Amino acid sequence: MMWKEEDRLPKVGMVGNPNAGKSTVFNLLTGLRQHTGNFPGVTVEIKTGRMRFPSGSEATLIDFPGTYSLYPTSSDEKLVAAVMTNPADTFFPDALIYIADVTHLERHLLLLTQLLDLNLPVILALNMSDTASEMGIKVNAAKLSDQLGLPVISISGRKEDNIQRLLSELEKMLKAPEKASEYKPFYKLTDQEKQITDAIRHNLSIENPYRALLILHHHQWLPFLKKQQKEVLDAIAITKDFQSLRTQVDETLDRYDKFMPIVRESIHQPPAFPSTTTDKLDAVLTHRIGGPVIFIAVMLLIFQAIFDWSGYPMDAIENGFGLLSEWVASALGEGWFTELLTDGILAGMSGILVFVPQIALLFLLISILEEVGYMARVVFMFDKTMRRFGMNGRSVISLISGSACAVPAIMSSRTIGNWQERLITIMVTPFVSCSARIPVYLVLIGLAVPAVKVGGIFNAQSLVFGSMYALGVLTAFLAGWAMKKWLRTREPSFLAIELPEYRMPHWKNVWLSVWEKVVAFVAGAGKIILVVSIVLWAMSRFGPGNAISDATLTAHQEAREMRLDSTQTEDFVQQRRLEASFAGQMGKSFEPLIRPLGYDWKIGIALLTSFAAREVFTGTLAVLYNMGSEEGDINDRTENAAKATLRSKMKVETFSDTGQPVYTLATALSLLVFYALAMQCFSTLAVVRRETGSWKWAAMQFVAMSLLAYFGAWAVYRIFS
């Protein structure tokens, strides 16, 4: 990402272990003044935002990925280590806010003491102080501050307690950088480590001894080191007989030996913890048999809610676009520009924006599950199951995230330390139905599946909708199992995850998350749909040479011979004009390839354009089916177009050669299966290539998914036709 005005602002980093509540505090400090970008040269996303101090001055807040220590086991942790060991990095902070869960403080001080030894100005924010009080935990923040030699503030991100005090203390620290020079190392280097760091500092001009030691540990992969510097470090490691792994273990044990007594003196626990609400809920929600059953039921309820709660807003959006199209047509009058706006841009945008309510609901419900702490339990529950299919419990996060978008879901696999498990997760995640597929599912399910209750509880449409997700997940598991048998590596695998306490959702976090994801979805899809809609409109309105005018004359003559009335004649003429256009000729050229699946050339065009983004499918069909005739009165045509929904136009669509309906149950189910199994979009291919470092895996993934989708759709069409 590019730094502009924010370059002149002080940079404050927010660090801490996963599940410490960093996101909640970050949202409190930045609100809507935040954005997401990438670290230079890598695909890791990072959030930055503007924070304002009580005095009115501002700073840039950088939310670093959650990490347990500066001895990383995943790509996320490597990134944090790379930034913290390189003062020249764009994201190197002027000060740090360290967020720690005060109810489990002993697990959070390893990383903190490492950052202190890098001589970075740090404020320790003891989060979840409200929960600690409820549990009877008493915190002596002053004693902890004195022992660690840094400011310590008890806060509650959920209740917003002491947030202003945190800001005031941080502002004082930024205004008094000289205090940071009072450096007292927490970890005392061994004699061998002193000799090694002295050699590194002499050769590489590194001032901080612990930074020099970390650079030696990680010099093989640190991106900012030059080839010559790596060779020097290799020579030092060999000469000094440096044993990296053994040194890391010894250092970690030494740090625990030093900070555990500090924790015991500063944090007073009750004599015995009673059985908490979290313990009682976990006994049910993580039960070996009951837990998975509850999870499946929860997901079914989510799918049910997507259909049941979104009807009115969808109707409102659809009617709004109809009225807008009618107003534009009446205001501008007849002409090509009016048709471009009504038949091209507005028709294409309405084909996607009408589904925003369902997508927002999906994001909302998943965010709530994450906030209350349930999703961490899902990782824990399914770890053993996932290993049978070549993945681990963290892969569940990627698969569930894939229900929103495969791109960030694939990127989230960086938390998986085992390369084979990470590769399999990357390769199978696109099988999970993403939010871009929702518009396609909703159109086709609403077209072919009746809205009847099954067993008096679930709507048949929601069950079919859920079955598409189930098909994708089942295929992902089978593909993972096949890859596990094929790759057969022996790299060790483990899962370390902290299960947070169950809490009520922090609604500001939820709404910000939903807002951010919906805006990203609409903005990303909107750009693509705008371009595709304009191109499609032009390709559908114009043709080579005199093809359009010849088709018009021929169609009028045939209409007279068939004795069609004026309305039927206009529809017949428009159909022939569309077939003679550039779009029609392109679609008909590959119609023989897709006809065995029950598709016509219009569906073929939608399939091609949707490889840019799956949601373009509905926008493409909306443009193709909205192309009206020029002979009729513009106001009548637009009024009819405003009232006709995409589904109603699809219901009456017929094959031009046989006159049979295109969208039968068999065709709709075939399309559902095709979109459930096919590669999602070119963006997914690009991120797979970046995450795996090779086009080989991306190409294999695309070919395998395309073939599976084609033959799966063919089989379904044959069964139901």
Give pLDDT, residue 82: 93
pLDDT value for 619: 64
**Residue 632's pLDDT band (cuts 50, 70, 90):** very low
For residues 415-448, one letter each, b for 16 or more C-beta atoms within 10 angstroms of the residue's C-beta and e for the rest, the string is bbbbebbbbbbbbbbbbbbbbbbbbbbbbbbbbb
Q: Among residues 240, 268, 296, which one ends one of the domains?
A: 268
Give residue 282's pLDDT.
85
Q: Model confidence over 657-678: pLDDT tens digits?
A: 777 888 888 888 999 999 899 8
Token code pair at residue 66: 């959650």
Task: Indicate if 223 and 129 belong to the same structural domain.
Answer: no
Q: How far is residue 114's CA from residue 122's CA, in Å, rounded to a whole number?
A: 11
- Average pLDDT (459-464) is 80
Whether 465 maps to a domain, the answer reads no
Q: Which residue has tokens 């067993």?
A: 455
60 DSSP β-pair partners: 11, 50
Rounded to whole angstroms, how far apart are CA atoms 652 and 640? Answer: 15
Same domain, 688 and 567: yes
Arithmetic mean of pLDDT over the chain: 80
546 with 630, same domain: the answer is yes
Count of alpha carbons within 13 angstroms of residue 59, beta-carbon side:
27
487 or 60, which is more confident: 60
pLDDT on residue 525? 60
Among 97-111, 291-305, 687-701, name the most confident range.
97-111
Q: Does the pLDDT of residue 251 top 90, yes or no?
A: yes
Strand order from edge to edge, sheet including 45-52:
34-38, 45-52, 58-63, 11-16, 95-101, 122-127, 152-154
Cα distances from 623 to residues 5, 230, 348, 409, in angstroms, run: 42, 57, 6, 31
**pLDDT, position 497:** 65
Same domain, 572 and 691: yes
Mean pLDDT of 263-280: 77
Q: What is the pLDDT of residue 513?
A: 78
pTM summary value:
0.64
- Stretch 110-126: mean pLDDT: 93
> Do both 176 and 213 map to the same domain?
no
The predicted pLDDT at position 74 comes to: 76
In a domain, residue 491? The reply is no
Determine the number of helices (DSSP H) and then strands (DSSP E) in the chain: 35, 11
Residue 116 scores a pLDDT above 90 = yes
Are 206 and 167 contained in the same domain? no
152 within domain boundaries: yes
pLDDT value of position 648: 75
Last residue of a domain, one of 242, 268, 294: 268
pLDDT confidence of 32, banded at 50, 70, 90? Answer: low
Q: How confident is the model at residue 686 (pLDDT cuts 50, 70, 90)?
A: confident
Expressed as residue numbers, the domain containing 168 is 5-181
Instruction: Write down the pLDDT at residue 677.
Output: 92
For the chain, how big is the Rg over CA atoms in Å?
30
201-236 as b/e: b if 16+ CB within 10 A: eeebebebbbbbbbbbbbbeebeebeeebeebbeeb
Residue 692 lies in a domain: yes
Res. 5 pLDDT band, cuts 50 70 90:
very low
Q: In terms of residues, how long is the chain?
A: 721
pLDDT in tens, 177-202: 655 445 678 999 999 999 999 999 88
Looking at the structure, tell me whether residues 25 and 171 fall in a common domain: yes
Q: Is residue 174 part of a domain?
A: yes
Say if 501 falls within a structural domain.
no
Domain check: are 596 and 677 in the same one?
Answer: yes
Amino acid 445: pLDDT:
85
For residues 567 and 633, membership in a common domain is answered with: yes
**Whether 215 and 233 share a structural domain:** yes
Which CATH number is 138's domain given? 3.40.50.300
Is the pLDDT confidence value at 554 over 90? no
pLDDT at 707 over 90: yes
Domain count, the chain: 3
pLDDT reading at 259 higher than 70: yes
Chain centre distance of CA 288: 29
> Is there a single domain that holds both residue 562 and residue 652?
yes
pLDDT computed for residue 566 by the predictor: 77
Q: Which residue has the higher pLDDT, 666 or 499?
A: 666
Judge whether residue 705 has pLDDT over 90.
yes
pLDDT of residue 37: 46
Q: 592 with 625, same domain?
A: yes
